Chains A and B, each alone.
Chain A
Amino acid sequence: MNVVLIDNNIGILEELVGVVKGILPSSTISSFKDPMLAVKHVYNHATDIVISEVKTRPVSGFDVLRNLHKLRPEMLVVLLSDEPGHETKALEYGADGFLTQPVNPQELSELIDKLDTYKPLDV
């Protein structure tokens, strides 16, 4: 499974890498400080799920979501934000999931299971 993570803050990004590694140990994780580079990567490389913070520059998580839905409609996109109020907008734009920061590994794990992309055959 190919995962792309996006957050301007490297510390938070690294923590997120750790959380995702724990949930999906055999996945390939590409992390990006720059959301536009992340989208370029997704455009050029097979990706299963994108997990992005909403409040990013130079484009927001919402911009990434809209862009990816146009380019890669089958892409799963989960948005993260420390403002619960962003959830409505996220779902409006078609996010496959929304979680509040800081991310609770259990919640992320359950969300990924729900999205049915996690194959329990991975050991």
Chain B
Amino acid sequence: MRAIIVDDEQMAIENLRLKISGDDRITEVETFRSPLKAMDYLRENDVDIAFLDINMPVMDGLTMAKGMKEIRPDCSIVFVTGYSEYSVEAYRLHVSGYLMKPASAEDIKNEIDFAISRKKNPAPVSEAPLRVQCFGNFEVFVSGVPAKFKYTKTKELFAYLICAKGKTISNDELCSVLWEEEEINLSKKSYFRNMISDLQTMLKDAGAPDVLIKQRSALSIVPDKIECDYFSWLQGDPIAINAYRGEFMIQYSWSEFSLGEF
């Protein structure tokens, strides 16, 4: 694995270089005090893992990471920082991880482990009959192919039910989420009924008709019958835990708010 270190402090670079070089899997380590020079290097050279300081003059680590995503999207990025406050922003950028200075040899080993496993297992495309992805954009796959919905809002309806983790949600609540401030008139109610049919059709085609439970004026999904990264996470699956990058159902603003489950 080829590594680079970018930090404006020479001592921090040396400290990290010593520990990184100690790992047998690392074949090369290039170091840079200037992020701009590091970017020039990256344009010409492929690198597997990059350890970036966040707090640097001229170009900070976050900006550099954004730039790196364009030219070397497969390179794992690990922030090494003295400030824990940056952890929030760092993860929103799809970085592999972040470490607090001084990073221990064990921390570094974990990051290298993870970078390698990412390379070996690039997001496996599951052929499962029905697979739901909540990390990043909300997506539904039927036998590995994006599910077909007649209405865009049907997908959002399904997302909301998934987010509810199997809890029963009233049609009224679902309508108010799907149409936010708008009045729920008869035509919307009729549209809503069509959406339920649309969802039922999709599930039936996926061979999973019993995923959706339809009551008189409420709906719920059965989590056990769905392969889903979010549900795997809730069950403590380490792969799901490490796969999460700080983005959840990006398309839907309601995913930021409580579903009143507390």
Contact = CB atoms under 8 A, between A and B. Distances in A.
Interface of A: 10, 28-34, 36-37, 39-41, 43-46, 54-55, 57-60, 63, 66-67, 70-71, 81, 83, 86
B248 A36 contact: yes
A59 B233 contact: yes
Interface string B218-246: 00000000000010011110100110101
Interface string B157-184: 0000001000000000000000000000
Q: Is the interface of B mostly helix, strand, loop or mixed?
A: helix
Q: Is the interface of A mostly helix, strand, loop or mixed?
A: mixed
Contacts, number: 75
B88 A32 contact: yes
Nearest to B243: A40
Interface of B: 84-85, 87-88, 91, 97, 100, 106-107, 110, 114, 134, 163, 230, 233-236, 238, 241-242, 244, 246, 248-249, 255-258, 261-262
Given A39-B241, A44-B110, A70 B236 contact: yes
Given A57-B256, A63-B234, A71-B236, A40 B244 contact: yes
Contact of B85 (A28, A31, A37, A70): A31
B119 to A, nearest CB: 17
A58 B230 CA distance: 9
Contacts of B114: 44
A45 B241 contact: no
A39 B248 CA distance: 15
B262 A44 contact: no
Closest 9 CB pairs of A and B: A70-B236, A58-B248, A36-B244, A33-B88, A37-B91, A30-B84, A55-B262, A67-B236, A44-B110
Contacts of A40: 241-242, 244
Contact of B238 (A41, A43, A83): A43
A55 B262 CA distance: 7
B87 A54 contact: no
27 contacts: A10-B88, A29-B84, A30-B87, A31-B84, A31-B87, A31-B88, A32-B88, A34-B91, A34-B246, A36-B246, A37-B87, A39-B241, A40-B242, A43-B238, A43-B242, A44-B97, A44-B242, A57-B255, A57-B256, A58-B134, A59-B233, A59-B234, A63-B234, A67-B236, A70-B236, A71-B236, A71-B241
Contacts of A39: 233, 241
A67 B234 contact: yes
A55 B258 contact: yes
B112 to A, nearest CB: 12
A36 B248 CA distance: 10
A83 B262 contact: yes
B165 to A, nearest CB: 9
B200 to A, nearest CB: 26
A37 B230 CA distance: 13
